[in-house]
Amino acid sequence: MSDIALLRLRGVVKKFGGFTALHGIDLDIREGEFFTIVGPSGSGKSTMIRLLVGMDDISAGEIMLRDQRIDQTPANLRPTCMVFQSLALFPHMSVGQNIEFPLKLRKDSPAKRRERALELLDLLRLPRTYYDKRISQCSGGEKQRVALARALAFDPEILFFDEPLSALDYRLRKALEKELKDLHVRTGKTFVYITHSLEEAMVMSDRIAIMKEGKIEQIAVADEIYSAPVSRFVAEFMGEVNLFDVISVDGETLQSSALTISNDVTQSTLPVGGKGLLMVRPEDVQFVGSKDHFDYVLEGKIHAEYALGSRIQYEVEADGKILTVETLRESRIKDSEGLPVTLGFNASKTHLIGDA
Amino acid sequence: MERLDRKLGLLSSLPMIVILLIAFLAPVVVVALFSIMPPKVFSLANTPDFSSYSVFFSQGYYKSLLWSLGMAFASTVILLVICWPLAYGMAKVFGRFTLVLTIAIVMSLFVSENIRLFGWVLTLMKGGLIEGHLRTWTGMSFDSPLYGVPVIVFGLVYVYLPFMLFPLAQGIAMVPDDARQAAADLGATRWQVFTQIDIPLAAPGIVVGSLLSFVLAAGAVAESKILGGQAVIAIADDVETAFTFGQNWPLGSALSMILICIIGGLALFGVSRIDLDAIMGRKR
């Protein structure tokens, strides 16, 4: 992976009549990376991918591919390609004809086309006998692979994915996520993936962009998005989280109505009088024993318990709201419901979101 | 359970089977039998011969057939070309306006075909709606386009337009938008999308529309009579003349049989090549 931006968006705006779907997007996608755009439905991510592949026109701004403007280029002349949510395989063609479609348009010889199609079947771990199969004879996962093979046959600069796994069942989806990641490594292509599932994004991506209401909230590597979100939206979007309102009294020490804070914690990055959100993930909160010391402590009462397999999740009522705590299975508390508990966590496990 | 279903299926199709046998198959059988009777007889109790079929060739009736088939072919091709954009619009673009268009076109079918064709005669004839106004206002004049082959083809196109348009719109509606978009994304030009995605995926609609309009146009008689002024004779006209004016039932039957065989063969061939279930919406 290099740091050179392969695809560069500057101030990209998309309006549908009076409604603005994208508000001036700036984005750099690097060559060879697996970049995922995540957002809830209506966040503008699907609009974005349609602009990137050329199915819709942008209202303002510019899209550059290797320093060449492509935003006025029609889809069929752009060196990019998309795997559709519906896969959009051609039902009247065989598997082989589907894969060869872009090669046929390029007027490659039949022998060459066939050879490439067979190579791609190998790459996607489909038996070569599938060449003559009808699309309707393929299973969901096989169709997925055929769609991928067809897109790879086009040999695009960037391969876009519009939630191609969302229609599959859980186990197949999990398997294909890993396969896709593996394929990315093996082909060395730039993948731009769109999904509403953060889990999916975390498994596969090098970098993730979180979108909300037509704007990008945060772009970072998966781990950073999880541990250091820039806003409440990102923090909550990235799974279970506990957030506390805090205020910085003197620019150094944090205060919170809910938390008892040890005196030796001085880590505020907020200005004097600045408000923020202190974030801690459920797995970093612990039940406090008599001898333990934690930087942040609060009292509560266990409200519910859920088994998650290897872990147990507790909902604890404290400070008038429900907090989430996760522990390992072996430290499960018996008859936990209604039990008064003290929760604690350390400053090193927290993240401060400014100006919330 | 399955046996009961099958029994019910047979029982419920029984009325239709009876009607088809009496009203459809029986006349065809009678016509087929008459076609192998000696000329100008009115009974089936004669020694069969094939003299009527030989008359088809010796007395030039084959020319009528060729004219009919040729004009039907021309009108079908013209219909395909002019209906495609309209059908595409109805299937993909117009939205609610499609309903207005559908009603407008269906309404025109409420008026008898002959009356509509006479309307065209009044419009196109010398001193008619167009030429008459033109001459009164500008003094210029032109010969009437009536009574020729082109105007017959025009009449066929005009009369059978709905029979092409609606199946075609149905067929185009079956082409998934994302397949078209995917093809474009993979580098296909508009023309390539049209030839490699639209046409093959809309094929059932194309075949049904073409068959309907071809079959109807090949058997049409009013257009050549009213607009064409019998500039050429359609085969259906010959059939009618043989049965009525000519009082030669075996000849009329033989001509009918030839037309039925050609068109029936064509229809069977066409239908066998497409998935009728798909266009009837039974399969997705």
Which pLDDT tens digit goes with each residue over B115-144? 999 999 888 888 888 888 888 898 888 888
B277 shares contact with chain A (CB less than 8 Å): no
Q: What pLDDT does residue A121 have?
A: 93
For residue A161, which amino acid is it? Answer: F
Q: Which residue of B has its CA nearest to A99?
A: B186
Q: Cβ separation of B201 and A92 shorter than 8 Å?
A: yes
Q: Does domain B53-279 correspond to CATH entry 1.10.3720.10? A: yes
pLDDT over threshold 80, residue A82: yes
Tell me the residue type at A339.
L
pLDDT of residue A268: 61
In chain B, where are the structural domains located? 53-279
- Are the beta carbons of A180 and A173 closer than 8 angstroms? no
Instruction: Band the pLDDT of A38: cuts 50, 70, 90.
Output: very high
Interface test with B, best of A98, A105, A143 (most B CBs within 10 A): A105
pLDDT of residue B227: 87
State whether B179 and A91 contact (CB < 8 Å).
yes
Closest approach of chain B CAs to the CA of A247, in angstroms?
52
**Residue B284: its pLDDT value, please?**
39
pLDDT of residue A332: 78
Give pLDDT, residue B76. 96
Q: What is the pLDDT of residues B8-55, one digit of tens each?
A: 888 899 999 999 999 999 999 999 999 888 888 888 888 888 888 888
Query: What is the reported pLDDT for A3?
Result: 58
Report yes or no: B265 at the A interface, CB cutoff 8 Å: no
Residue A328 bridge partners (DSSP): A311
pLDDT at B223: 87
Rounded to whole angstroms, the Cα distance separating B236 from B222 reads 9
Task: Count helices and strands (H / E) in chain A.
Answer: 8, 20
Whole-number pLDDT of residue A28:
92
Partners of A91 on chain B (C-beta within 8 Å) are 179, 201
Q: Do A84 and B197 touch (CB under 8 A)?
A: no
pLDDT tens digits for A117-126? 999 999 988 9
A223-235, pLDDT tens digit by residue? Answer: 888 888 888 888 8
- Judged by CB atoms closer than 8 Å, whether chains meet at A88 and B182 is answered as yes
Domains and CATH numbers, chain A: 5-227 (3.40.50.300), 240-354 (2.40.50.100)
Per residue in B148-169, pLDDT (tens digit) is 889 999 999 999 999 999 999 9
Higher pLDDT, A146 or A298: A146
φ/ψ of A181, rounded to 5, equals -60, -45
Q: Model confidence over B189-223: pLDDT tens digits?
A: 999 999 999 999 998 899 999 999 999 999 888 88
Measured between CB atoms, does B201 come within 8 Å of chain A? yes
| Strand, helix or coil for residue A196 | coil
pLDDT beyond 80 at B281: no
Q: Tell whether B195 lies on the interface with A, counting CB pairs under 8 A.
A: no
- Mutation choice for A interface testing from B174, B185, B275 by most A CBs within 10 A: B185
Provide the 10 A C-beta neighbour count for residue A128: 12
Please give the mean pLDDT across all residues of chain A.
87
Specify the pLDDT at position B283.
44
A146-191, pLDDT tens digit by residue? Answer: 999 999 999 999 999 998 888 788 888 888 898 899 999 999 999 9
CB contact under 8 A, B201 and A91: yes
Phi, psi of B89 (to 5 degrees): -60, -45
The partner residue sitting opposite B186, judged by closest CB among A86, A92, A105, is A105
Q: Would an 8 Å CB–CB cutoff place B187 in contact with chain A?
A: yes
Q: Is B184 on the interface with A (CB under 8 A)?
A: yes
Of B181, B182, B187, the CB nearest to A105: B187
pLDDT for residue B182: 93
Which position has the higher pLDDT, B139 or A14? A14
Q: Is the model's pLDDT at B1 over the cut of 70?
A: no
Q: Which of A49, A50, A83, A86 to mutate to test the interface with B (most CBs of B within 10 A)?
A: A86
- Interface contacts A/B by beta carbons within 8 Å: 57
Using CA of residue A231, residue A235, residue A237, residue A238, what is the dihedral sign? Answer: positive
Runs of H (alpha helix) within A65-191: 95-105, 110-123, 140-153, 170-187
Pick from B182, B187, B188: which is nearest to A84 by CB?
B182
CB spacing of B186 vs A102 below 8 angstroms: yes
Nearest to B185 among A53, A86, A92 (CB): A53
Tell me the nearest-neighbour CA distance from A77 into chain B, angstroms.
Answer: 6
User: Quick count: other Cβ atoms within 10 Å of Cβ A191?
Assistant: 23
B247 touches chain A (CB under 8 A): no
Q: Residues A44, A27: contact at Cβ < 8 Å?
A: no
Is the pLDDT at B282 greater than 80, yes or no?
no
Among A86, A90, A108, A116, which would you mutate to test the B interface (most chain B Cβ atoms within 10 Å of its Cβ)?
A90
According to DSSP, residue B244 is labeled T
| Angle formed at CA A337 by CA A311 and CA A294, multiple of 5 degrees | 60
Q: Is B186–A150 a contact, with Cβ atoms under 8 angstroms apart?
A: yes
What tens digit of pLDDT does each residue of A1-13 get? 455 689 999 999 9
ipTM for the assembly: 0.79
Q: CA nearest B192 in A: which residue?
A: A105
The residues near B250 (Cβ < 8 Å, ≥ 6 apart) are B34, B35, B36, B37, B38, B39, B40, B41, B51, B52
In the numeric block, the tokens 């063609």 are attached to A93
- pLDDT at residue B145 in the model: 81
pLDDT at residue A37 greater than cutoff 90 = yes
CB distance A154–B187 less than 8 Å? yes
Say whether B187 and A102 touch across the interface (CB within 8 A): yes
High-pLDDT (> 90) share of chain A, %: 34
Q: Is B145 exposed, middle or buried (0-12, 13-18, 19+ CB in 10 A)?
A: middle
With a CB cutoff of 8 Å and minimum separation 6, the contacts of A311 are A283, A326, A327, A328, A329
Chain A residues with at least one Cβ partner in B under 8 Å: 53-55, 74-77, 80-82, 84, 86, 88-92, 101-102, 105-106, 150-151, 154
Which among A84, A97, A154, A160 is the top mutation candidate for probing chain B, defined by the most B β-carbons within 10 Å of its own β-carbon?
A84
pLDDT of residue A265: 66
Using DSSP bridges, classify how beta strands A158-162 and A80-83 pair: parallel, antiparallel or unpaired. parallel
Mean pLDDT value across residues A31-38:
93
pLDDT of A293 reads: 81
